[in-house]
Amino acid sequence: MTDLQQTTTRPATAHALDPLSAAEVTATVAILCDERELPPSTRFVSVSLAEPAKTELLGSGPGAALERRSFVVLYDRATSRTIEAVVSLTSSTVESWNERSGVQPSIMLEEFFAAEDLTRADPRWQEAVRKRGVTDFSLAMLDPWATGFSEDTDPGRRLIRPLTFIRSGPDDNGYARPVEGLLVVVDLDRMEVVDVQDHGVVPLPPQPGNYMPELMTRPGNRPEFTGLRDDVRPLEITQPEGPSFTVSGREVSWQKWRLRVGFSPREGLVLHTVGYSDRGRLRPVIHRASMSEMYIPYGDPAPTHRFKNVFDEGEYGIGFLLNPLELGCDCLGEIFYFDAVVNDADGHPLTIPNAICMHEEDAGVSWKHTDFRTEKTEVRRSRRLVISCYATVGNYEYGFFWYLYNDGNIEFEVKLTGVISTGAVAGGQRPGHGTLVAPNLYGPHHQHFFNVRLDMAVDGHRNSVHEVDSEPLPVGPDNETGNAWRTRKTLLARESDSGRLIDPFKARYWTITNPDVVGATGEPVGYKLMPGENTVPMAGEGTQTWNRAGFAYKHLWVTAYDETERFAAGDYPNQNRGGTDGLPSFVAADRPIESADVVVWYTFCAHHVVRPEDWPVMPTSRVGFHLKPVGFFDGNPALDLPPSAPACHSTLGSSNGHTPR
């Protein structure tokens, strides 16, 4: 295993799509401070790259130096003002300054820690915790949750709701002992606790929920744990000649794929200009791919849980929460890492080292056939390029994985692990809206919705989208045996035609085609989006979910490209009532999307009915989708894969008594 970061080249000049460097974040803040009188109450919510307009990017020649700009979200705590600024790094000027009324920007890390300190010092909270038998307040663990929206939530006040858990020691899993029924509201502008509600004492669950080996072996922790397994032998991933990819700055070449690896503080990992080299021509597939929103509504009406409906991207920022990855743990093999640069609330750059991991993986058999008459076998192994990152959002860990395969397939997968958000019930009771995972401890029902924004460019920027269903034909003269079925395509001609649902009974998928480019069979070239596991929100009309996360009630949306439309739930979901921004309002414009520059938005869900096996730390759960070429190539693009070296071996023998070699 090797860290390859030091062996690659980095251009002297940043590409127009490269994320901001630490020096550029510093320069941005300096320019703003020079040109604007920023009061001490001003906080820097985010400093990110202002990507060039697509027309500007596509109109420039190869290697052209485009102007570098940054996009800054500021918040003045004294006046509760949210300000957007665009700064030219090329000319060292502030190009625009826009005050946004009635919105709350995402929650800053300094506010997380401030809310915890304020709550712990509040006498009302202390009294409530004493009622649970806790006198050492330093053992309290407070998770600041976004408030959601309710009629008694003043939209002019910046609020957060910390939930309380009690540790038994510094490394203890505090989620094993939730303080049920204790609600706190903190005003982040005034920096004061404005409300404490205690809905009645529920005893703290008795059992620890530790998962570190040194803690599990302590008396009373996990009696079923008898030590780590001793039958797991080493499994090494080696590439003696190094990896097949090359990296220059943020540009990646791997086999026939070409792309740029980007980053933003809000979205985290971003892919740019994804294309496939086919017979000497680089054919574009996706102009830009990113996760546009994450939304997690809980299905428990208890006071401690009913307000939980969080937009992890729009209310917190996934990029700020990325983990520094460690070789040999999160990724295996010949690893290349990309750092990520974010900012603190004072505007200082913060570098997250090794935030994005890239490596190759064996992906099983790509294709195989044995001619049983001649006993000749041809088999090729598949390989994929993995570009990934992990974010810790409070109790949960989310892994975001893009896979590029050497047969032209693309896959996006979210891996969910970490610790469930827990609740407590009294002895002898069972939760009505969750699953008991330990004595008096339960995990509430909840859902995780992810929306991925795909700015498509299938062989160019004029694409059309069709919905494809498979349907049986009635028995008749042309179908006497009743076994016939066909596919039926429905063109999504206008934005009002989008907002589609999956239908597994029709094997539904969607194709993104280029009507101007015809493949070998005379059909337009395309890619198809293949859904995976999915459902819709359980919360009905009139709920917070319905009002604030309208995008989640449909799986596929298609919009005409608009560089200002980036996020499925709108720019500022924090404390937003909803209904005025995001995908439902985007498609209300009803723009034509046939043979147009289109953006495809796909929503998918991890529907989580908690299991006892999800405690104390959750085994990884996976959810995602595929993009597969359909008529994009003249045939199997992996026919030219070389055979693998005959390195398969076994020392264990076989059932027929032979020892394979």
Whole-number average pLDDT of the chain: 93
pLDDT at position 407 is 97
Annotated active-site positions, please? Answer: 312, 396
Cα–Cα nearest to 350, from 317, 394, 399: 317
Tell me: pLDDT of 249 over 90: yes
* 412 neighbors 388 (Cβ within 8 angstroms): no
> Lowest-confidence range among 65-69, 302-306, 429-433?
65-69
User: DSSP class of residue 222?
Assistant: -
In tens, the pLDDT along 82-105 reads 999 999 999 999 999 999 999 999
pLDDT at position 264 is 98
pLDDT at position 647 is 60
Q: How would residue 648 be classed by pLDDT, with cut points 50, 70 and 90?
A: low
Tell me: pLDDT of 598 over 90: yes
Cα–Cα nearest to 604, from 554, 657, 654: 554
Crossing angle for the helix pair 123-130 and 109-120, to the nearest 10 degrees: 70
Tell me: pLDDT of 5 over 50: no
Tell me: pLDDT of 649 over 60: no
Q: How would residue 220 be classed by pLDDT, with cut points 50, 70 and 90?
A: low
Q: What is the mean pLDDT of residues 466-481?
A: 96
Cα–Cα nearest to 619, from 440, 399, 404, 425: 399
Beta bridge partners of 360: 385
CATH: 1.10.3720.10, 3.30.365.10, 3.10.450.40, 3.40.50.2300. Which one for 109-216?
3.10.450.40
pLDDT at position 9 is 40
Alpha-carbon distances, residue 576 vs 2, 81, 103, 156, 547 (angstroms) = 46, 15, 7, 11, 9
pLDDT at position 329 is 75
The residue type found at 169 is G
Alpha-carbon distances, residue 453 vs 294, 359, 589, 647 (angstroms) = 12, 24, 18, 41
pLDDT at position 65 is 76
Tell me: pLDDT of 437 over 60: yes
The tokens for 369 are 């056939």
In tens, the pLDDT along 352-383 reads 999 999 999 999 999 999 999 999 999 999 99
Instruction: Kindly state the percentage of the chain with pLDDT values over 90.
Output: 84
pLDDT at position 63 is 62
Q: How would residue 655 be classed by pLDDT, with cut points 50, 70 and 90?
A: low
pLDDT at position 263 is 98
Q: What is the mean pLDDT of residues 13-34?
A: 95
pLDDT at position 435 is 98
Q: What is the DSSP string of 25-39?
A: HHHHHHHHHHHS---
Domain boundaries, the chain: 2-100, 109-216, 245-298+309-420+445-630
In tens, the pLDDT along 543-592 reads 999 999 999 999 999 999 999 999 999 999 999 988 778 999 999 999 99
Q: What is the mean pLDDT of residues 105-134?
A: 97
Tell me: pLDDT of 328 over 70: no
CATH 3.10.450.40 is held by the domain 2-100 = yes
pLDDT at position 7 is 36
pLDDT at position 8 is 38
For 245-298+309-420+445-630, which CATH superfamily applies? Copper amine oxidase, catalytic domain (2.70.98.20)
State the CB neighbour count (10 A cutoff) for residue 501: 15
Cα–Cα nearest to 210, from 657, 652, 616, 508: 616
Q: Is 529 exposed, middle or buried (0-12, 13-18, 19+ CB in 10 A)?
A: buried
pLDDT at position 331 is 84
Q: How would residue 656 be classed by pLDDT, with cut points 50, 70 and 90?
A: low
> Lowest-confidence range among 215-229, 278-292, 446-460?
215-229
Tell me: pLDDT of 222 over 90: no
Question: What does pTM read for this prediction?
Answer: 0.95
Q: What is the DSSP string of 605-620?
A: EEEE---GGG-SSEEE
What residue spans of 168-241 are helical by DSSP H? Answer: 213-216
The more confidently predicted of residues 277 and 660 is 277
| Helix, strand or coil, per DSSP, at residue 366 | strand
State the CB neighbour count (10 A cutoff) for residue 118: 21
Domains 2-100 and 245-298+309-420+445-630 agree in fold: no
Q: What is the mean pLDDT of residues 505-525?
A: 97
The tokens for 316 are 């917190």
| Helix, strand or coil, per DSSP, at residue 590 | coil
State the CB neighbour count (10 A cutoff) for residue 535: 15
Q: What is the mean pLDDT of residues 502-521?
A: 97
b/e string for 292-315 if b means 16 or more Cβ within 10 A?
Answer: bbbbbbbbbebebbbbbbbbbbbb
Q: What is the mean pLDDT of residues 229-255?
A: 93
Size of the chain, expressed as the number of residues it contains = 661
